[in-house]
Structure 1
Amino acid sequence: MQTTLRNTFSTVFLRSALIASVCLAAAIGAQAQTAPPQPVTWELQVVRDGQQIDSFSATTNVGQARTDTHHDKVQNRVGCADQPAGNIDLQRTLTVSPTHASADDITLAIDAQETLQEESTRVSPSGCKLPPVPRQVSASHPGLVLKPGEWAQWQIVDSNPSLAYRVRASLGSSPAAQ
């Protein structure tokens, strides 16, 4: 009888604990659903060989991502007659996602795909100019931690050409723009 009473008491206690934890989880989930997402305003400058060549900016909520593509179509002079030709689309695609935001620090996940043009001039065996060969560069930073409002630099390519991203972010005050 005592064993049966103990088992019954244990079962009731475990069921009560389970019900309490389910209710607590539901309350926390409801609170998380009603809390507005934290917007982050960010800016990213693309710096090639020390000169800013492009920039991206947006306001994006924590947990969301923003992807933008910029194109820079260049025309090179090629051939023995040095004629305009050899068009290259220097495409740059960035995806920025705030993963954490507080008054102390902001963390951004950044994925980048770049098409770069080599600066060196190539020539054929007969001495005629050849178009530059485009170079694909991919980079990913899973968690660039920034102090709100302060610039940080992320070096993508060290040389030929040098390529870096200057990034800053702050807590946004308006709903995220997607």
Structure 2
Amino acid sequence: MWKTSIVAVLLGTSLLASAQQRPAQQVVQWQLQVMRDGQQIDAFEGTTTVGQARTDTHHKMVQHNVGCKDQPAGSIDLARTLTVSPLQADTNEVTMSIEAQETFEENAARQTDTGCKLPPQPRQVSATHPGLKVPTGQWASWTIVDKDPNLVYRVRAGVESSVN
């Protein structure tokens, strides 16, 4: 019986020692601004552990007046879903993986042959950046769409101060 107790104590001590030797996971605080044609239209922020992912979706319902009588048309959900995952982090730089799914409207207003208003067409874009390098305390930019509209993500990130 005393042998079982000794084995249990040794096993418990071994587990406790290995648990204490593991370094704490780094936690990254990040901000992401969505810029459309130079203007900020949305923002995301979070605190995420290196190796983990965070997904957020923002919705914006829009409705346009259409036709020759300028009547309200059905609404469109312009959804934006981002998955942000810090891959590596140190005091100088954070490397982040970002996945984006965007639904947005084209810039150009359309008309029928007779000059009646048509709603802007929704456009869907999916993009992935497997390793955006963000210098600590600085903004890094990632262009999602080049033109009509120009859509850019600006990201700032840094390692959170350790909390004991």
TM-score range, shorter chain: 0.7 to 0.9
Aligned twin of 1:63: 51
Structure of larger gyration radius:
1
CA contact (8 A) 1:151 1:166 kept: yes
* AA at the equivalent of 1:118: E
**CA–CA separation in structure 1 for the residues paired with 2:152 and 2:46:** 19
What stretches of structure 2 of length at least 5 have no aligned partner? Answer: 1-14
The SS at the match of 1:71 is strand
Matched, 1:111 2:99: yes
CA contact (8 A) 1:86 1:131 kept: no
Where does structure 1 differ by over 3 angstroms across 4 or more consecutive aligned residues?
A: 30-34
Structure 1 residues 46-75: Cα deviation after superposition (integer angstroms, max 9, x where no partner) = 000000000000000000000000011111
What stretches of structure 1 of length at least 5 have no aligned partner? Answer: 1-26
- Aligned-pair identity in percent equals 60
RMSD: 2.0
| Residue 143 (structure 2) aligned to one of 146, 155, 174 | 155
Aligned twin of 2:69: 81
Matched, 1:99 2:87: yes
Cα drift, residue 79 of structure 1:
1.1
TM-score, normalised relative to structure 2: 0.83
CA separation of 1:57/1:174 partners in 2, compared to 1, >3 Å: closer, same or farther? farther
Aligned twin of 1:121: 109
Cα drift, residue 32 of structure 1:
9.2
The alignment covers a number of residue pairs equal to 148
More helix by share: 1
Aligned twin of 1:19: none
Structure 1 residues 57-96: Cα deviation after superposition (integer angstroms, max 9, x where no partner) = 0000000000000011111110111122241111000000
